[in-house]
Structure 1
Amino acid sequence: MGTRRPGLPGEVERGAAGTTDVVLREGGGSWLTLPRSVGRAATTGLLTGLVGLVLAVPTAAVVLLSGRGWAAMWVVVLWMESAAVAVGFAGGLASACFRAHRITFSPSSDGPLMVRVVRGLRAGPWRAGEGSIRVRLEQVIEEPCGDDPNPATTVVSLRVIRDDSDIGRAVLPQGTDVPRLGAALEEALGSSVVIELHVRRKTRPRVTRRANRGGFTGISGAGGYSCGGGSGGG
């Protein structure tokens, strides 16, 4: 697969052969994916290494108490740490390789619509777009309740759906212009793909403060009083 310029989630790109790409993850389908994926896998490996270290401490104590000596203890700790780091790194890298980074649509003039999924740097096979293919933009707006000083927040996600199953999904960056993105998708994909916009509003739970006998101020409201419910629209 040729090198592509880095794309941002939600971007619509036209290929040289007339294909249309919907980017799901930053840098998806380009060589920029590789160092980013390796870096995240290394971070995952370090985190699992810390977990392995916590588990290795009681194991090391058991080895020492059994009278096998310090050398045997360090061998056991080293093996446990190495295994934890290797599993975390391999799992993080595999997750990046198998995660969908972009969806490619065939040119509308080439007959029936064909779709393929790009995972990491590898493009999957072209598959006929059997049934309806939909690109759904979901916008969830969470509004403050009462005197909550925090501003409203918006989360926008993009889903590519075939036969009621997701073949790709991504959370788009803050500030994404949803109507503009929907218009760009409709223009690029034409009538062969249904573009849907779902907007749902909900109210952030009220946060109340209460003082206990010792003067400590606690925060409640996660499972208690809520200022209101949610509403949706399509």
Structure 2
Amino acid sequence: MTAHSPGTPGSVERGESGTTDVVLRAGGASWLTVPRSLGSAASTALGTGLLGGALVLPVAVIVLFSGAGWAAVGVVALWMVSVAVGMGFAGALVAACFRVYRIRFSAAGDPPGVCLVRGLGSGPWRPTEEPDRLRLEQEIEEPYAGDPLPATDFLTLRLIRDDSDVCRAVLLPDTDARQLLTALEEALGPAVLLELHVKRTTRRAPRRLPGPRNRGRLGTSGIGISGAGGYGCGSGCSGGGGG
């Protein structure tokens, strides 16, 4: 795992006014979010358009059995696909503009406060009477003996207030969880409670099907969990326990 430079997801960035940003996603806080998100919105619109097209066939059968002709089927199909494309495009663009890109904490020495930086700008400052919690949840799936596939590692950062998520984001796969936790401790101090929860599982090996005809053939197996389950607090935790 490698450390990320400021401004990339999974990094801690100091602002000119002394604020501290925890970066969840690249970009944000600018109208440039709109043109930058057009490509992903178009991809989403294509997917929803295909879904709408898949629903045309059963609807077409119903329309034909009702006595309407193929012209009516064409109108219904065009309407369904257009609505699906429009909803997919608009929904993806709105989500990009209003999702949380950064968590911003007030400067050292100020009353503790936090605000959320979204796609189009920063939200209002919220004084924290009780410390918020930043939780890093690391899920590591290790290979079974003889597994040719490497281990997988997912790191999620959650801002928790009153035992409820304020926001959450999955960070880049090569983010070093303990290095990020150390950077957060140095930047935020006691104003924010920090937690690191690590969950390790082992990928279940595929089992062979019984019987002479199936000898040597591999059966289908889902992803299983072995070893200790649940989240355990790592040694780098400070502050309160998990919620």
Which residue of structure 1 lines up, in the alignment, with residue 139 of structure 2?
Answer: 140
CA distance in 2, matches of 1:188, 1:75: 59
Q: Deviations over 1:137-192 (max 9, x none)?
A: 22222222232232222222212222222222111112212222112111211221
Deviations 1:44-91 (A, max 9, x none): 211111111122223334444555444333222211111111122222
In the alignment, structure 1 residue 100 sits paired with structure 2 residue 109: no
Structure 1 residue matching 2:124: 3-state secondary structure: coil
| Paired residue type of 1:18 | G
The CA distance in 2 between the partners of 1:16 and 1:36, in whole Å, is 25
Deviation at 1:31, TM superposition (A): 5.1
Structure 1, unaligned stretches of length 5 or more?
1-5
Using structure 1 for the length normalisation, give the TM-score. 0.83
Describe the shift of the 1:151–1:87 C-alpha distance in structure 2 as closer, same or farther (beyond 3 A).
Answer: same
The answer to whether 1:210 aligns with 2:213 is no
| Larger strand percent | 1
* Aligned residue in 1 for 2:113: 114
What whole-Å deviation, never above 9, does each CA across 1:14-59 have from its counterpart, x for those lacking one? 1122111111112233555333432222222111111111222233
- How large is the RMSD of aligned CA atoms in angstroms? 2.7
Aligned residues with identical type, % of pairs = 57
Secondary structure of 2:81's aligned partner = helix
Unaligned 5+ runs, structure 2: 1-5, 235-243
User: TM-score of the superposition, structure 2-length normalised?
Assistant: 0.80
Query: What is the aligned length?
Result: 227
User: Closer, same or farther in 2 for the Cα pair 1:122/1:37, shift >3 Å?
Assistant: same
- 2:240 matched to which residue of 1? none
Matches within 5 A, 1:166-205: 166-205=165-204
The Cα of 1:113 is off from its aligned counterpart by 0.9
